[in-house]
Amino acid sequence: MELSSSGTDWRRAACLKEDPELFFPIGKTGPAILQAEEAKAICRGCEIRTQCLAWALEGKYDYGIWGGLDEDERRTLRRKQGRARDMGKVGLNL
Ligand code: SF4
């Protein structure tokens, strides 16, 4: 499955009424871990999570929680997609 963010209705985003700072934790320890988990929990309930993740991957956003994944998780996913593409198959398991 090829991911795409085209035609995304961002008005359906679960984070619209949340504090944007929540999705940009500073650091990877202590309170930042809890903050990231809180943001990811919101993403898990988001109707447009897949499209949001595709948008982040297309734009290669290197910081913040997008589509329920942090920057390290997106980097890992990009590598997996690259390998899958090389092998002729592309998939996404959310
Ligand atoms: S997946 Fe997360 S960051 Fe993306 S629109 Fe939904 S709530 Fe916002």
DSSP 18-33: S-GGGGS-SSSSTHHH
Q: What are phi and psi of 31, to 5 degrees?
A: -60, -25
Tell me which residues have their CB closer than 6 angstroms to ligand 1. Answer: 13-15, 23, 42-43, 46, 48-49, 52, 66-68
* Residue 91 resides in a domain: no
Q: Does 1 reside within a domain? A: no
Q: Quick check: is 92 in a domain?
A: no
Residue 22 lies in a domain: yes
pTM over 0.75: yes
In a domain, 2, yes or no: no
* Site to substitute for ligand 1 among 44, 66, 73, 92, most atoms within 8 A of C-beta: 66
CA 94 – ligand 1 centroid, Å: 13
Q: What is the pLDDT of residue 42?
A: 98
- Residues 17-59 have pLDDT tens digits of 999 999 999 999 999 999 999 999 999 999 999 999 999 998 8
The domain tally of the chain equals 1
Domain range spanning residue 20? 10-86
